[in-house]
Amino acid sequence: MVLVHGVWTADGLAFWAEHAASADLPRKAAAKGSPQPHPFAAPAPAVAAALDLDLDTGPSPAMEPRVLELLLPGSAKEPLPSPETGRLPEVARPRLRLWQVPAIVPAVADALRVLAGHTGTGTVRHWSAVAAFALDLVRRGRVLPHLIPGAHQGAPAGTDMWAIPEDDAKAVWRPVLTGADAAYFRELALAMPPACRTSSTERPSAEVLREALEAFADALVRRTLTGPLLARTPRTLHERWLAALTGDAAACPDVPGLRAELEKWHEQVSTAEGATRVCFRLLEPADTDDWRVELALQAADDPSLYVPAATVWSGVTGLPGRPERELLTGLGRAVRLFPELDHALRVPEPSELALDTAGAFGFLRKAAPLLQAAGFGVQLPRWAGRTRLGLKLTTRTKTQSAATSQGFGMRELVDFRVDLAVGDETISEEELAELARLKVPLVRVRGQWVELDDRQLKAALKAVEGSRTGEASAADLLRQVVQSDDEELPLLGIDADGVLGDLLSGQAERRLTPLATPAGLDATLRPYQERGLAWLSFLSELGLGGVLADDMGLGKTITTLALLVHERAETPTLLVCPMSLIGNWQREAARFAPELRVYVHHGSARDAAEIARADLVITTYGTAQRDLETLKRHEWRRVVCDEAQAIKNSGTLQAQAVRAIPTGMRLALTGTPVENHLAELWSIMEFANPGLLGPRARFRTRFQEPIEARQDEQAARALRRATGPFILRRLKTDKSIISDLPEKLEVKEWCSLTTEQATLYQAVVDDMLTKIDSSEGIERRGLVLSAMAKLKQVCNHPAHLLKDGSRLSGRSGKLTRLEQLSEEILAEGEKALLFTQYAEFGSMLQPYLAQRLDRPVLWLHGGLPKKTRDRLVDRFQNDPEPTLFVLSLKAAGVGLNLTAANHVVHVDRWWNPAVEDQATDRAFRIGQRKNVQVRKLICAGTLEERVDQMIERKKALAERVVGTGEDWLTDLSTEELREVFKLTAEGAG
């Protein structure tokens, strides 16, 4: 095995290699004053083979082996071994010496292919990062054409192009580095390993990096531009330069005038985003038509440092550099995007631009977005961009009777009125007619400036033509409010009383009078549980379904049992849950609602005749799917889905089955109404209230795509209004809900890989990326998922991947840290839950930890019978001895009460935070008396760290959105996968 290195030379990126294990290689002392062959260097054919290049027939036939002289640290006997070899240096005080190494220098395009498919050592990984940076710049168009002179320094003016004897200049593409790109360039230069430039150590790393980046960017642009830029045969010097910007031949004549203009262009663009930027601030008039755009400079790193142009011209700004020049330069660039700015530039010291109302509207809609996208600062009034013209619904209940059973409350008639509104103010038809007559896009209504366009005005005029008052059922109005999706005239406000008002407020739980703990419930409900019971009962009386989405551990089970006891219905309730929760529901019902007749419809002994004699029938999702026809023949008071995320995928057979069971009311219990994406929320709501959110396709275009892809706040508000009446969610961290729950402290524990792990990790990456790159479709997705699983197993322990039954001690950085944590926890006399997603790894951990710690270590997984599971849980909860409990995440992540533990360790993380939180809440729930410490073990510099970083950036949709579990990784390109999978120096160290 050889380790490949990359070093930048005058001819481009050169690759050389050293043997990973070189104990038997011949060594001899170097003669003084003359470079000697590197004793561990691999011959050029071995380097080419490691890079999948053929020196004779490969993609670069002209590529020839060469010998480089590199300045490397070491002794007179030998250079220091690279860290990746795992060999310890034998020199206490190394010195720099010249060593000769065989190398190959492929064409830039071939070097890029190598970097895209080979990780190698730290130098190669660094050049891969540079290549990825160049690719990113090219994709974003951050490149400009350029002309590099050769020995021939330009043709005199008027010289015929064919009189020039040679093409000694080069047409190239150069990257443009500004703002964040310039900062990243500096970071890359600082992070460049010295071995990347050992053939030219007198040159600073930034100079070497710029040269390499320009070469990479030029090759990438030429690879992208497959066709010529010029349609005809070039006839002028300029056209020959333009033609040379594509293809492999970059040679062209030098044109000094063109070269000077291109350099000026590049300099202007490159200095456009320095310490300051030009800012445009739109100032509204009080009551006239005199709008102004104030010109200013703004600090790029601190937007609050805002200096008006008038202050800039005074010479006292506090800004670095030359503010006057930067202001004029920025305004000169901006005029291309905002032509009206030319009027302000006709004075020596421009400070503002005067606009009329039409001009201000044009600035808002056209110029401001363009300027912002180009990197200029833009400050607009608070009302800008907000749709203010809309509708306001007012309803009044005809009779103030309370809602009765069987849903009469939603069938009762109410008076309604629809008004046009601007913000909180309603406007009359006369005012609307006047707005339409004025035909101006910005108008002042009741002291507020409002943006109007033709579409809104036409929609408003059409709305006032129809019936704006009348009588309708509360259910019809509710459906109209929930399904309202008029983009021109959105629903801005609702003023409703009675039942409809309670529902649409989204605060029904707090408006309703709490229901006291019902007689027959052997427990005392907490205040928030009494409010939850009142909310559930309220929905039941209206014939509506709901989603009880309280945080895990807040008692959804006992609240549901309280509802059944409170109703004492003649027909049974069907409860569908995961198999692991059947025992929990049985125990909770027997303990808190002993008068309820409970029948478990599951297993080979199930008897449909028992259903009619029960108050609560418990079954599993799988049984509900298999016995659907049997369950459909019975009358049900309601159907309850516990852990309703089990039906988050609406197209699955079990989701279709539970939706097909006829019932008057439905209740979904879930602590995670949105685990991955908004389609899951639609699926759960479709179970609870079929048809309320409309078809799935319409939900996707109305809510899911705008919110997930564009972070559309208006769509998010509309979705909250549509779902708010039917979802009750309280959090354990809210002290107004529960004040006696201890704190939860989450810590990420960073673990390092051993040398064995690092070598095995790299071998898996190299092997899998080669297979992934040559596959597609389902096969590719399967290979990506397989690669992730293997890399996670390597991070756990080499024996986990190899499955060879070898010893565990001393071979895994993560296992070493887990032992340390376990010793500390047990020494404190406390208990811990250790979660792993791999049952096979749990089977390895349990005996190992028990033997090493000389303490009981319990092990719960999906293969255990129910009685054994119950016995393990009981022992852990009631045995006072300090204990570790290893649990399979899938088998024990929900439904268990393990409050005896106040430590939770996620040994190998599941990349959906909602699943992790479910597991953590086995300990962090009601009944916990101690603060809970949660530790997540992450191997630094590996897939685990990079996916953790990605997840942290994705916690924005609803409560948690992380893509579709791990499946989002399968759609990444091979280059992106390489970035995710690669082993950094920190991980290898």
Same fold, 508-728 and 744-988: yes
| pLDDT for position 784 | 76
Residue 488 and residue 457: Cα distance in Å, rounded? 9
DSSP lists the bridge partners of residue 294 as 281, 352
Q: How far is CA 754 from CA 282, 518, 803, 937, 955, in A?
A: 59, 60, 18, 15, 32
Would you list the domain boundaries of the chain?
2-255, 276-379, 389-504, 508-728, 744-988
Of these ranges, 430-444, 485-499, 765-779, the one predicted with the greatest mean pLDDT is 765-779
| pLDDT for position 889 | 85
Asked whether the predicted pLDDT for residue 654 surpasses 50, the reply is yes
- Point out the least confidently predicted range of 81-85, 719-723, 981-985: 981-985
Strands 352-355 and 291-299: antiparallel
DSSP string, 742-791: --EEEEEEEEPPPHHHHHHHHHHHHHHHHHHHT--HHHHHHHHHHHHHHH
Residue 862 and residue 875: Cα distance in Å, rounded? 18
Which of the two residues, 403 and 385, has the higher pLDDT score? 385
DSSP string, 636-700: -SEEEEESGGGG-STTSHHHHHHHHS--SEEEEE-S-S-SS-HHHHHHHHHHHSTTTT--HHHHI
Residue range 744-988 forms a domain whose CATH class is alpha beta
| pLDDT for position 659 | 93
Q: How far is CA 768 from CA 47, 349, 489, 977, in A?
A: 21, 62, 53, 10
Q: Report the b/e string of 683-712 with b at 16+ CB within 10 A.
A: bbbbbbbeebbbeeeebeebbbebbbeeee
What band does 858 get if pLDDT is binned at 50, 70 and 90? Answer: very high
Which of the two residues, 356 and 32, has the higher pLDDT score? 356
Asked whether the predicted pLDDT for residue 818 surpasses 90, the reply is yes
- Point out the least confidently predicted range of 141-155, 863-877, 879-893: 141-155
Residue 138 and residue 236: Cα distance in Å, rounded? 28
Asked whether the predicted pLDDT for residue 635 surpasses 90, the reply is yes
What residues contact residue 823 under an 8 Å CB cut-off, 6+ apart?
853
Residue 599 and residue 578: Cα distance in Å, rounded? 16
DSSP-derived secondary structure letter, 483: T
Strands 413-422 and 389-397: antiparallel
| pLDDT for position 48 | 85
pLDDT tens string 878-901: 998 989 999 988 777 666 889 999
- Point out the least confidently predicted range of 194-208, 444-458, 646-660, 898-912: 444-458
What band does 164 get if pLDDT is binned at 50, 70 and 90? Answer: very low
Amino acid type, 412:
E
Which of the two residues, 385 and 580, has the higher pLDDT score? 580
Crossing angle of helices 582-592 and 556-567, rounded to 10°? 50
Crossing angle of helices 943-953 and 777-796, rounded to 10°? 110
pLDDT, average across residues 279-284: 91
| pLDDT for position 403 | 42
pLDDT tens string 14-23: 888 888 654 4
Taking all residues of the chain, what is their mean pLDDT, rounded to a whole number?
79
DSSP-derived secondary structure letter, 79: B
DSSP-derived secondary structure letter, 900: T
| pLDDT for position 598 | 94
Q: How far is CA 566 from CA 519, 557, 615, in A?
A: 8, 14, 12
Residue 660 in contact with residue 639, Cβ under 8 Å?
no
| pLDDT for position 304 | 73
In degrees and rounded to multiples of 5, residue 390 shows phi and psi of -160, -155
pLDDT tens string 514-569: 889 999 999 899 888 998 998 898 888 888 899 998 877 688 999 999 999 998 88
Tokens of 655: 């989701």
User: Percent of the chain having pLDDT more than 90?
Assistant: 17
Residue 749 and residue 818: Cα distance in Å, rounded? 10
Residue 617 and residue 576: Cα distance in Å, rounded? 8
Q: CATH topology for 508-728?
A: Rossmann fold (3.40.50)
Residue 655 and residue 161: Cα distance in Å, rounded? 75
In degrees and rounded to multiples of 5, residue 665 shows phi and psi of -140, 150
Residue 946 and residue 984: Cα distance in Å, rounded? 10
Residue 240 in contact with residue 228, Cβ under 8 Å?
no
Asked whether the predicted pLDDT for residue 163 surpasses 50, the reply is no
Residue 560 in contact with residue 669, Cβ under 8 Å?
yes
Residue 161 and residue 158: Cα distance in Å, rounded? 9
| pLDDT for position 213 | 94
| pLDDT for position 841 | 93
Asked whether the predicted pLDDT for residue 376 surpasses 70, the reply is yes
pLDDT tens string 258-279: 888 888 777 766 654 556 788 9
Residue 571 in contact with residue 636, Cβ under 8 Å?
yes
- Point out the least confidently predicted range of 313-322, 330-339, 787-796, 965-974: 965-974
Q: How many CB atoms lie within 10 A of CB 430?
A: 8
pLDDT tens string 476-513: 777 666 666 666 666 766 777 777 777 776 566 667 78
Residue 752 in contact with residue 938, Cβ under 8 Å?
no
Angle at 577 between CA 574 and CA 581, to 5 degrees: 120
- Tally the C-alpha atoms within 13 A of residue 290's C-alpha that lie toward its C-beta: 4
pLDDT, average across residues 954-960: 42
What residues contact residue 324 under an 8 Å CB cut-off, 6+ apart?
312, 313
Amino acid type, 586:
Q
DSSP string, 162-201: GG-----EEEEEEE---HHHHHHHHHHHHH--GGGGTT-T
| pLDDT for position 959 | 41
Strands 727-728 and 546-548: parallel
Tokens of 137: 């710049």
